[in-house]
Structure 1
């Protein structure tokens, strides 16, 4: 039979054991979180990052408020391709981030006339009219000035898919490669429109 003192000591030991087990559990949880953050943060900041669409310049491909995942890693191994939708620093104010589609590549000349986007390069010295199936038939691509731009060795010409509502290379010129953050990889939200995006293939008109 236990005395009151013995019973109290037993309860104290049980409480101490419980606190010790709780402390070990919390410490294990902290270690798991530290390891997880050590893995996730480099991926978050070096491989991919989220981007929320703001504005209507990329409709109907993307709508304002949609949540995209940007692949920041791919352009470390490959160059941006025609048709890629990219997020980049706005050349006139690099604190702002824009989303547009790459239309012309370094060294090419692009001309906009009669609602057509024409690419001039070594393969098509006489011009190649892009067949832009992502542009609604009712939309119009209007030139600014004479509508002609010749790109440097690291410059890209970008346009919004919603041409009548887009501020793009027609107005402020090409985007240097070093200002391109990454390529749109996945539309993560809304969940009903979840989609992975690949580089498109252009036909010619």
Structure 2
């Protein structure tokens, strides 16, 4: 509560309002620098992240280190950089990726992915060698995913950030399942 004359109370009130406004503006700009909202526009990442979900993306996640295998990233689509995509990092620079049917091998070790929908048809085997500063990404819903199997790799400088948290719809609130440990 304010004490003293009415003029002092008014000045104190205005000062506090300005301080609050400055604080809110700083928070807003810090939020915009660190985090970005991304709307999932496809079923590529279902069932973990459903179409129309809103996800917070940590844009500073890769300022001190590179993406890890299993991270869910948001990146500029290599075929049209005006479009953002969300997918899971499968292959790192230098990796050899073999996809044979529904099975994936990374550098000769089979990958076990409990988070995917593994019902895609792929009667052929194909191998990719991930170039320096590029990443091989796949959607969790392999049947519908437009991913590195079709257009190869994501350049490091196309990566916007790491998916952190699903905040919409409210009944889907969850941290994003970045499963780096499953790949070690």
The TM-score, its normalising length taken from structure 1, stands at 0.77
> 2:182 aligns to what?
202
State the shift of 1:141 in Å. Answer: 5.8
Q: Which stretches in structure 1 are left out of the alignment for 5+ residues? A: 1-16, 121-126
| Alignment match of 1:135 (pick from 116, 129, 133) | 116
What is aligned with 1:4? Answer: none
Q: State the match for 2:58 in structure 1.
A: 71
After TM superposition, the runs of 4+ consecutive aligned structure 1 residues lying more than 2 A away are 23-31, 140-143, 201-204
Say which of 128, 131, 135 aligns to 1:149: 128
Separation in 1, partners of 2:121, 2:112: 13
- Which of 102, 117, 130 does residue 104 from structure 2 map onto? 117
169, 193, 200: which one pairs with 2:172?
193
Per the alignment, residue 99 of structure 1 pairs with 86
CA distance in 1, matches of 2:101, 2:177: 29
* 1:26 CA drift (Å): 5.1
Q: Which has the higher helix share?
A: 1
Whether 2:17 is the aligned partner of 1:37: answer no
1:80 is aligned to 2:62: no
Give structure 2 stretches of 5+ with no counterpart: 1-5
**Distance 1:43-1:150 versus aligned 2 partners, 3 A rule:** same
RMSD over aligned Cα, in angstroms?
2.3
Q: Given the alignment of the two structures, is residue 159 of structure 1 paired with residue 138 of structure 2, yes or no?
A: yes
3-state secondary structure, aligned to 1:187: strand
| Distance in 2 between residues matched to 1:53 and 1:24, nearest whole Å | 46
Task: Name the larger-Rg structure.
Answer: 1
Q: 1:164: Cα distance to partner?
A: 1.1
Deviations 1:66-95 (A, max 9, x none): 111111112111210111110000111111
- CA change 1:203–1:51 in 2 (3 A) is closer
